[in-house]
Structure 1
Amino acid sequence: MKLDRERLNRVLRPHQTRPRALVIPPVSTPAEGPPLERLVGGQVMATPYGSCLVVERRYPLDERRGPARLGDLLHLPGVAVVRLNPYPGLDALDFRSAAFIDTETTGLSGGAGTLVFMVGVGRFEGDRFVVRQFFMRRPDEERALLDRVMDAVADAAAVVTFNGRSFDLPLLTTRFRLARLEVPLADVPHFDLLTAARRVWRRRLDSCALTNLEREILRYSRAADDVPGWLIPTLYQRYLWEGDVIPMARVFYHNREDVLSMVALAAVLCRACSVPEEDDALHPIDYTALGWALEQSGDWSAAERAYRRALADYLPDDVRCYALSRLGTLLKRQGRREEAAALWQEWITSVPGDDVTPFVELAKHCEWHERDLEAALMWSQWARQIVEGWPPGYRRDVTLGELDHRISRLRRKLERG
C-alpha cells in the first residue's frame, strides 16, 4: 500500500502547480517625453487606498456628433428606450442622472485575470457633459481607481453602456469583489446601447461595432489620434514595462470618444422611438427594423408610424414586401380591415415578385368580411397561378394544397348560392 502511494505521488507531483500571483512590473524608467499626467492633462488623486490618475474634460451641451447634440438627450423621454431594451426599470430612465461608462482592459476575454486599467464615466452636470477618466498607472493602484469610480457613480440612478451588459459591468463587478469593495450600480437600470443598436441597424449594416455606427449613423470620423480597441491591451503592457507614455494619450482619446458617441447614439435611438415619422436620422431600411421592435414592445401606434415612414421612401423590393406585410398584419390585428385591404392591393400593384401573401389576405378578407365570394375566388385562383411557377418542393406542394382547399370551399359556397 505504501509503495502504491509513493508511486501515485510521483505521478501527480509534476502536474501540481502553485497559484500564480499577479506579476507587478518594476517601476519603469519613463521613456523620453513628458510625464503622463501632464501629457493627458490630468492630476494624481489621493484615496484611502493610494492614488490614481484622473483626467477630466467638460463639453458644452451643443457639442455636435453628426445628427445629434450632446444636450439633445436631456429633452427626450428615457422611457422610449424600453421599446428597444426591455429590461427592468428603464421605464423611469432619466438621462440627467445616468452614468455613461466605458472601460479599457488588459484583455478582451474578461475573467478574473483581466484588469480594468481605465474607466471613463460621463455625467450631465449643469450646462456641461463631463467625462472623467480614472487610470491606474500600476496594478497596485486598482483599489484607488475603483474607489474613485465608486464616488463618481454614487448618485447615478441608471447606467448606459455599449456592450456593458456582457463585458464592462460584469468585469467591473468582478474587480470590485476581488478588491473587497462594495459593488456600485448593482441595482440600477441598465441601458445597453448595443442591444438597441442591433435591433435597429443589424438588418442594414454588416457590423454594429461602435466605430462603425459612428461612421454610418453619426457620420462622424475620429481624429488620427485614435487607436484600435484590440491594440489597447498591448499598449498598456508596453506602458507598464517600458514607460512608453506617448501611445497612452491615444488610449485616453479613444475612451473619451466612446463615451461621447454613446450619448449621441442614445439621442438618435430615443428620438427615432419617440417620433419616427418626424425623424430623418435613420435610413428607410432602419425604420422597418424599428417598426418590428416597436411592434414587439406593444407600441402599435409608433410601429405603424415607423412602417409608414419606411414605405414613404425607396426600399428594395424584398424590404418593401416585409414592411407592407408587417403593416398589413398590424392593421388587421386592430380590426382596420379596409385599410389593410387597400394596403394589400397597393402591394400587388407596386412590388413585382411571386409572394402570394397579399392575394391570400385579400381572398380571406373578401370571403369572411366582404362576403364577396367571387372576388375571394378570383384572388385565390390568381395566387394559385403564381404558386404553380414556384420551383418544385415542399413549400410549393403545401401552398398549392392550401389554395386548392380554399378554392374548392369557395366553389361549393357559390354553387349553394
Structure 2
Amino acid sequence: MAQSAARGASDVTPLRSTPSIPAASAALNGIRVLDLTRVRSGPTCVRQFADWGADVIKIEAPVDTAQFGGPRSGPDFQNLHRNKRSLTLDLKSKAGIEAFRKLADTADVVVENFRPDVKTRLGIDYETLSQTNPGLVYASISGFGQDGPYAKRPGFDQIAQGMGGLMSITGKPGEGPMRVGIPLADLTAGLFAAQGILIALMERQRSGKGQWIQTSLLQAQVFMLDFQAARYLMDGDIPKQAGNNHPTSIPTGVFRTADGYMNLAVTGNNIWTRFAETMGRADWLEDDRFATAPARSENRDALGAEIEEITLTRTTAEWVDLFNQAGVPAGEINNIEQVFQNPQVQHLGLAQPVTSQERGDTHLVGQPIVMSRTPSTIAAPPPTAGQHAEEVLGELGYSAAEIADMKRDGAI
C-alpha cells in the first residue's frame, strides 16, 4: 500500500529518500515511527522498529536534561536508543506543537508512555492526531491502564512485579517476596506494544485505518504469569514460592556439583528414565517414592537430597556433558561475563559492535531473531539530542530561516 493511502491522506510529505543514518534492516523500510517515550518500556517497544529498519525519530526536550536511569553515555541509554534520529521539540510551545503535528501527519506510528492525561493536555492524543491522519497507529504504554481506578498511579517495574503476582512466586519459601533480576514488566509491556503495533499495521492494509493500541506494565505482568495464572483461574490453586525448584516438574531445579551448580530439567517419564539410568540409580524407577510424577512431587525433598549426593561427585562440565549425551536437559549457570564468553552465544552474534558517539568502539545486545533475507543490525549509535533537527524539519518543508527562528525561540 502506498504511504499516502496507508496514512489516509493524499498530500502527506514523503518519507526521506536519502537517510542520514544507514537502515538497520530492509524489513520495515517505509515505516515512520515517532518516539515520545522515556525510561524503559516505551524505548523497548520503539527499539523493535528502529532495529528492523523503520525511520524512527526520537522526540526530545530542547534542554537535554538527565535521562531517568542514567546519562546518554550510560549502557542503558546506549542499548535502548540505537538506530534512531533525534529531533528536539518543546511540546509546550506553539511552534513545537505545530511542528510535531506536521510530523505526525507523515507518520505511520506514534508511541508514548506518558501518564494517561499528559498527551491529552498537550493536544497530541490519538483522537486529535487521527483527525488529520486517520491511518495513524498510536500506541500508549502506562503503568496500570489508560482508565480505571489505578490509571493515575505512577508506574514502575518493581511495583508491577509485586502487584502482578510475580514476586509472590519468586524466591525461596519462607524468605519473603523477591523481584526477578530484570525489569520484566517494563520489557514485556514494550514488546507487547510492539506486537500490537505490527498487528494494527497488518490490519491497516485491509481497512486503511489506524487505531489506538494500549497496554500497561500491570497487564503485561499478569499475562506473563501464564501457567501459574491458569492454575488459579481453572483450579483455584494459588501458587507459592518454590525457590529454584520447578513448581510442577520434579526434579527440575538447581543442584550442586563438585565445583559449583547446574540446572537440570527432568520432565516426563521418558526423560526421568534416562536421568535415573545416567545417575546410576535405575532403582529409583521402581521406588514407590519416585516412580511416578505425583510421587516425586510429594517426595521432592528426599529425591533432591539423594540426587545431590551424586551430583557432588563430578564437576558441572562433566555432568552437563553426560546428561546432554543421554538426552537429559542440563546446563551450567553462568554469570553475565560467562554468558557472552559462551561459544553458542558468540556463534549467535548477540553482542554486536557499534561506535558510540559518547563511548567510542563498544558492543550492544543485538536482536534475538534471525531473518534469512532482512536481518537486523546495529547500523547507527544513539543520536545526540537534536542531532537531526535540521534534517527532519527540512523534510517537512521548513526553511533554514524558520529553523533558525525556532532555535532562537527555544522551540527546538
TM-score, with structure 1 as normaliser: 0.22
Structure number with higher helix proportion? 1
Higher relative contact order (CA 8 A, sep 6+): 2
TM-score, with structure 2 as normaliser: 0.22
